[in-house]
Structure 1
Amino acid sequence: MFKYKFGPINVQVTFDKSVQLLEEELTEYYSHVASQTHKSEHHCHIKEWNLGSYKSLEEDEILWRGTSVEVNTKRNIKIIGEWDKDLNSIVSVSEGSEHKTINDRKRYWEFSQRVSIYPKLVKENCFMVHCAAIIVDGKANLFMGPSGAGKSTIAEKALSSGYKLLTDDTAIVQVVGDTLYAYSSPYKSKSGLIGDTSCYIVNNFYILSQSEQEKVVELTKGDFLKCLQERIYDSEYTSHLFPYKSKSLGGEVGMELMKHAYRTAKIFKAFEYKFTKESDLKDLFEKITLT
């Protein structure tokens, strides 16, 4: 048995006897967020973890049947998930033999846990967003953008300016009334950053792009909503796993994600931030404070 923190949720993972040889390796991937608490809000049971038995498809195939899903991917992994009425899960994983890197199994583990917990996460009014989260005056400022927009650069600027970085890759956001709370995800980013386990009230959202001239403008609610939805669904397979039109648990999750995005865009401000190599984040936060 293994327990860890996934944002505000305490997760308990148990392993079938057939998986015991892999248990130590799999749990090591989340050792930095291991939890000693006795309580848990989500239970994931790893029923199977088959090695080398899966053959990748040319295109991903995701099949929902009520509260169960079968995910056949083109990326050397198959996952079958089943959920009970409390959204606890039983997960079976099959790896192929087409490993690309030595970190493949770590990615498979993270994917299996994301599939397992997402229905529970959404029920707890949470969603995941691809962003860098910078702490300023005790509050989280989320910088979003597609790959190449400059999240890693902004993260480096934040650290060099003396700001605390909650995450440079993915944040877990929880909606509580008209307030949002940001947590670091348990994923270790490519930079190796491990965020702390604290949560912070969200202050503002920023949409990033690199430019030859610095500019900050407030986005319309419509543009903010579009950008937020893109970053919520930016995480691997999220849009395919949880299609909101599906008459299944996956559809329910997809619909709740849309509601969270609409509510967030309605309540919060977002700014387009075009930055240059010389841009200073301290200047940015001073400008926003004055608006």
Structure 2
Amino acid sequence: MANWTEIDRHAKLWIADAGESIRRSFKHSLSIQTKSNPNDLVTNMDKETEKYFISNIRDTYPDHSILGEEGNGDQLNSLDGTVWIIDPIDGTTNFIHQQRNFVISIGIYENGVGRLGYIYDVTHDELYFAEKGKGAYMNEVKLPPLEKVPVHQSLIAVNATWLVKNTYFDQHKLVSLATAVRGTRSYGSAALELAYVASGRIDSYLTMRLSPWDFAAGKIIVEEVGGVVTTLLGEELDMLSVNSVFAGEVNLHSEILDQFLLPTK
């Protein structure tokens, strides 16, 4: 049986060390490459940070599996056993251009169930974390349950590109949602936006296309404050595939889903 207290201690130690290395890198030039397209960037720090986590996990927990963004982990077709889902730098474009609004994101799952989630805002030294059934925290401050908020008073995170150019959902409904809420934001890091939902800095986050390492940690943290994380059709997320993602307080989630996302009957 997994010792979650020990795993949590190691994860936090490794995250702190990796964050310090990333901050030191601000003083040096980066090696920047592209992945799937010219705007899909990866740096030497992405790769080095992922390798750092993988090396420590392999040495300390050799029976655990790893799913990582930069391809240094395992090829998995299930979440059997204990699986670390790692994004070493979520928000790489922000990291390159701004040196802020990027995070380290780690979700630890046991037989498909999220047990520990960590989202570390490196620049601001803010660690959002949760253990299943024990609540969520930002550093040592426990996050309160999410409060009910009506659509017209809500602040949502959504990428403007998805509002005007997507092949997934009714563009007019999405624009209607954007105009119905109090305001919209886009931070350029899915994991950070999920952390902001959990902490109440924003009320909801919607996006068309995320990989598991983008949302694995955030899903655990949001759910621990009473939020819901699904696809944009309200379906359960597939933790091994690309998904649309919709997170928010349960009543707001239901209201947006019914009014703006589900097909009209």
TM-score (norm 2): 0.29
As a proportion of its length, which structure holds more strand?
1
Structure with the bigger percentage of helix: 2
